[in-house]
């Protein structure tokens, strides 16, 4: 559930941020691009500790709840979605958007009617990538989770630590299935070429 929520939020946020970075360039977009890529340079443990310290109390106390796990996943995997969205947006000429706006279609409707349909394969590939890496996330999860919110990787880690290898292997098999099923659906059913060179 945490990985699903984080994947859905990541696709929405990364699509919008990618659009702002590529199509609405201004003096702040390089800084936005840099900040969006920053989680790639941080380990999950450091990110988890930072989130716990930031959201321990104050106006938005997320520590101890499910929200901090979803936030950790969102921040950790956001660069993947932004890079996928940006790569497609660089290939969409501005003239297509300009033609739609010049015909009287508002910019927001132009985005959903003209630009977003061209981005759908890239967004779907980003969804699979974010899902597969999020559902197996351990380093940030192990720092921010609370009792009763153990994810599969945390449970596997705890079983291995307790030397219960058979049970850990069973959980590992479930995790592999959860990762492989969306890949098979994307490649076989929707014919998304996830492994094509961009």
The DSSP line for 55-117 is SSSSSS--TTSHHHHHHHHHHHHHHHHHHHHHHHHTTS-HHHHHHHHHTT--HHHHIIIIIHH
CA–CA dist 140, 155 (Å, integer): 14
pLDDT of residue 196: 59
pLDDT of residue 152: 92
pLDDT of residue 12: 94
pLDDT at 198 over 70: no
The answer to whether 192 and 183 are in contact (CB under 8 A) is no
In angstroms, what CA-CA distances link 7 with 1, 3, 162, 175, 186? 10, 6, 31, 16, 15
| pTM for the predicted model, two decimal places | 0.86
Q: Which CATH architecture has domain 2-189?
A: Orthogonal Bundle (1.10)
Q: Where along the chain do its domains lie?
A: 2-189
Q: Which two tokens stand for residue 34?
A: 């840099």
- Express each pLDDT in 61-96 by its tens digit: 777 778 889 999 999 999 999 998 888 899 889 898
- Express each pLDDT in 20-40 by its tens digit: 999 888 888 899 889 988 998
């Amino acid at each position: 559930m945490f990985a699903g929520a984080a994947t859905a939020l990541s696709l929405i946020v990364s699509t919008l941020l990618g659009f702002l970075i590529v199509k609405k360039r201004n003096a702040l977009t390089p800084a936005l691009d840099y900040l969006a890529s920053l989680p790639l340079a941080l380990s999950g443990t450091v990110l988890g500790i930072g989130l716990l310290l930031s959201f321990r109390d104050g106006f938005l106390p997320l520590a101890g709840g499910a929200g901090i796990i979803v936030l950790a996943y969102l921040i950790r995997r956001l660069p993947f979605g932004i890079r996928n969205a940006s790569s497609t947006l660089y290939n969409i000429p501005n003239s297509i958007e300009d033609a739609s706006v010049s015909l009287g279609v508002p910019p927001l409707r132009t985005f959903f009617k003209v630009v977003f349909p061209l981005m759908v394969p890239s967004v779907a590939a980003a969804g699979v990538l974010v899902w597969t890496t999020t559902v197996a996330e351990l380093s940030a999860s192990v720092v921010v989770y609370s009792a009763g919110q153990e994810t599969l990787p945390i449970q596997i880690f705890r079983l291995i630590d307790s030397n219960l290898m058979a049970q850990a292997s069973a959980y590992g098999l479930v995790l592999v299935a959860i990762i492989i099923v969306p890949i098979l659906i994307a490649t076989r059913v929707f014919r998304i070429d996830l492994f094509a060179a961009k």
